Structure 1
Amino acid sequence: MRHRPQALLVMRHDTYRVQFGPDQLRRLASLAELGEPVWSDDLDEPRTRARLAEAEVLVTSWGCPPLTAERLDAAPRLRAVFHCAGSVRPIVSDALWQRDVLVTSAAEANATPVAEYTLAAIIFAGKKAHVLAAQSRLEPVGWQAVGHREDLSNYERTVGIVGFSRIGRRVVDRLRTLDTADVLVSDPYAEPAAVAAAGGRLVELDELLIRSEILSLHLPGIPETRHAIGARELHLLPDGATVINTARGGVIDTEALERECATGRLNAILDVTDPEPLPVGSRLAGLPNVMITPHIAGSLGTETRRMSGRALDELERHLHGEPPLDAVTREALAVSA
């Protein structure tokens, strides 16, 4: 019989309650030993410290405290951290990388709802649904007023995808459901053959911007990508283009985007902003051609159980001596979300 490691769940209580229903807890109990407490959001509390001393596996998610050197010293048997969310940035530390501890992420599972949201945003952008909805709140807009407008269409649109990430790749693939004229991709790390296999065409950023009627951003939020889309890049977009951001708010220069949208030249659908949330009274938030949602593209509600399942898959593979699906390293984290 294989060894069942001691496991501790570390995350906020509301996250634990949603991500680990009866099915997820049963599966976890079949793979690992669960002591008391099963779950904690405080690694410094005495009862948790006692469990931490025994823990060989941590199953983490949103609200897990940073795994600092002092906390890791209290977990001498720790061999793996299986993260049930996307980025591990909030919890990792130099001390964690210095130990021989496996770290995995469920970012691959989280990519699914983000890609679904993005496809929906692209379809809304093609019909300018968010703009027309805002207009309808001020005065009735009937079919007769819009039925013959050539700019309200998802047929033969040119869509630009900046960042061929796990999410960007999925969006390109999902765009096969639309009769797009062209799907352009810009990413310095992407291979032309991989982009073509997904249904896109790899081009330089400036060409993509000049041609894109809809621009969707899928860049990691790292120092090198801050304001990657600034005043110059926005100016290259054609009149009437829509900017969609489901990545990180900081990849766009907020003030530059506000200026372009305020003139009516560009439209925007933003699930993330910089700062997030925007301050009360923000001009950008009040523009009728800008739709802002509160960072809802990623996994919410029962969608988060897809990520729990991915983390438990990683735990099961670990127990069987199989390589992880989504290991995170210090080097990979430097160029990813």
Structure 2
Amino acid sequence: MSNDDVRTDPHPQRRATSLLLSIGAAERAAFFPAGALEDLSLHAADLDIVEPEDARSSEAIALAEIAVVAWGFPRLDADMLARMPRLRLVVNAASSVRGLVSDDFWASGIPLTQAGAAMSPAVAEMSLTLTLSLLRRVHRMDHALRGGTSWDAAREIARAREISGCRIAVIGASRTGREYIRMCTALGADVRIFDPYLPAGDPLSARAGGLDEVLSSSDVVAIHAPATTETAGMIGRRELAAMPDGAALVNTARASLVDMDALFEEVASGRLDAALDVFATEPLPDDDRWRSLPNALLTGHVSGATAESRARAGRIVIDEISRFLAHEDLQHRVTADALERMG
């Protein structure tokens, strides 16, 4: 092996003593593919890999200065923090941190950052995919043909629509919502937005309207708002009733934003179509009522789980650790105040 083939630490003075990587094996390989794990290891004298379910009892957590975590890692409560006396930084490779933090964690002053931005393009692309599928009646045709309906009968569905000129309501101008808006407008859609927190002077302000207004004047409603106490149930029976006959709802955000019983009634009646990547109960039970509806397009909470989004998240993790060790501002830091309006 030549000297050029040997990885060297470009900043040997910027290293943690111990870095804990606690992400399940399958996802760990997705976050840190080919060479990325080696890049991560350059940021610490010791890299300890611990499965999330073993983290609470692992001796490695007592040494960790930096913890890189995701789903399944124990909540950072007083007990867990006491087990991690040297902890200086927590990096969540996933998005939501609600199940990870506690009042005791915020009181500790330990900085927390996350890689949720990596998922936005993937979730927006899936939302667009579902939107196009609903407009072109792909779900209805597939269900009919696979269910034994004759060719001619399967073709007797409502006339398909194109996205160009389609009226689309976007609920939430989040990172993902903005990416979805960019994609839809590039294809010629007429996009309206509901987001009460849209800043004055935002380029999207010209497309903004009230919730009832955008719901009642749209062919497709796509939900991209965060799951908070304020947004819980925001699309209820009244709001669904305001949507025009034949309209469709796409939800790649969280099920808690929608009255799922009311939505089921609307879809079961045939008045609305729906594409859902998120559900009130996950995994979705084998006998769940949603599985039988021909005008419901279902996916298994996978919108953000592309190979590219996971690799992007891994790079964000590495970059944030680099900034922390270089005493630079974190680009994706989460604070207790900011969490109130985050998913």
Measured against aligned partners, the alpha-carbon deviations of 1:271-325 in whole angstroms (never above 9, x if no partner) come to 0112234444333321100011110101245641221111111111112221111
Q: CA deviation at 1:140?
A: 4.1
Shift of 1:226: 1.7
Asked if the contact 1:85/1:106 (under 8 Å) is kept, the reply is yes
Cα contact 1:115–1:170 (8 A) shared by 2: yes
How far apart are residue 78 of structure 1 and its match? 1.2
TM-score (structure 1 length as normaliser): 0.91
Instruction: State the alpha-carbon separation in 1 of the partners of residues 145 and 199 from structure 2.
Output: 44
Identify which of 107, 121, 131 aligns with 2:140.
Answer: 131
Worse-matched range after superposition: 123-132 or 201-210: 123-132
Which residue does the alignment assign to 1:39?
Answer: 50
Task: For residue 195 of structure 1, report the CA deviation from its aligned partner.
Answer: 4.5
C-alpha deviations, 1:248-272, integer Å up to 9, x for none?
Answer: 0111111111111111110000001
Distance in structure 1 (CA, Å) of the matches to 2:40 and 2:63: 17
1:67 aligns with 2:79: no
Counterpart mapping for 1:104-119 below 5 A: 104-119=113-128
Cα deviations across residues 192-217 of structure 1 (Å, max 9, x unaligned)?
542428xx701110000001100000
Residue 191 in structure 1 maps to residue 203 in structure 2: no
Work out whether 1:213 is the aligned partner of 2:222: no
Any conservation in 2 of the 1:115–1:167 contact (CA below 8 Å)? yes
2:333 is paired with a residue of what secondary structure?
A: coil
1:2 aligns with 2:13: yes
Q: Which residue of 2 aligns with 1:19?
A: 31
Tell me whether 1:234 sits opposite 2:240 in the alignment: yes
Task: State how far apart, in whole Å, the 2-side matches of 1:65 and 1:119 are.
Answer: 34
Is contact 1:249–1:276 with CA below 8 Å preserved after alignment? Answer: no
Which deviates more, 186-195 or 327-336? 186-195
Unaligned runs of 5+ in 1: none
Aligned-residue identity in percent: 33
Measure the CA separation in 1 of the matches of 2:270 and 2:198. Answer: 33
Would you say 1:56 and 2:65 are equivalent positions?
A: yes
TM-score, structure 2 as length reference: 0.89
Match of 2:324 among 313, 318, 324: 318
Which residue in the other structure is 1:282 paired with? 288
Deviation at 1:141, TM superposition (A): 4.1
Residues 126 and 195 from structure 1, CA distance in 2 versus in 1: closer, same or farther, beyond 3 angstroms?
Answer: farther
> In the aligned structure 1, how far is the partner of 2:320 from the partner of 2:311?
14
Cα 1:74/1:276, change in 2 over 3 Å: closer
Mapped contact 2:255–2:280 kept (Cα < 8 A): yes
1:80-99 matches, cutoff 5 A: 80-99=89-108
- Greater CA drift, 62-71 or 11-20: 11-20
Q: Deviations over 1:2-25 (max 9, x none)?
A: 231021111223322332334111
AA paired with 1:226? A
Instruction: Deviation per CA, 1:199-251: give whole Å up to 9, x if none.
Output: x7011100000011000001222222221111100000011101000000111
Matching residue within 313, 326, 334 for 1:328: 334
Distance 2:322 2:246 in 1: 50
Whole-angstrom CA distance in 2 between matches of 1:278 and 1:53: 37
Q: Is the 8 A contact 1:53 1:75 kept in 2?
A: yes
The alpha-carbon distance between structure 1 residues 69 and 14, as it changes in their structure 2 partners (threshold 3 A), is same
Match of 2:167 in 1: 158
Count of aligned pairs: 329
Is the contact between residue 144 and residue 154 of structure 2 (CA under 8 Å) also seen in structure 1? Answer: no
Q: RMSD of aligned C-alpha atoms?
A: 2.2
Counterpart amino acid of 1:25? L
Structure 2 CA distance for partners of 1:53 and 1:275, relative to 1, 3 Å: closer
* Distance across 2 between alignment mates of 1:93 and 1:283: 35
- Cα distance between partner residues in 2 of 1:295 and 1:75: 32
1:250 aligns with 2:256: yes
Maintained 8 Å contact 2:167/2:219: yes
Paired letter, 1:191: P
Question: Secondary structure of 1:111's partner?
Answer: helix
> Once structures 1 and 2 are overlaid, which stretch shifts more, 277-286 or 58-67?
277-286
Instruction: Give the whole-Å Cα distance in 1 for the aligned partners of 2:51 and 2:283.
Output: 28
How far has the Cα of 1:139 moved from its partner? 2.4
1:159/1:192 Cα in 2 relative to 1: closer, same or farther (>3 Å)? Answer: farther
Give the residue type in structure 1 aligned to 2:229.
P
> How is 1:132-151 mapped onto 2 (pairs within 5 angstroms)?
132-137=141-146, 138-141=148-151, 145=155, 151=160
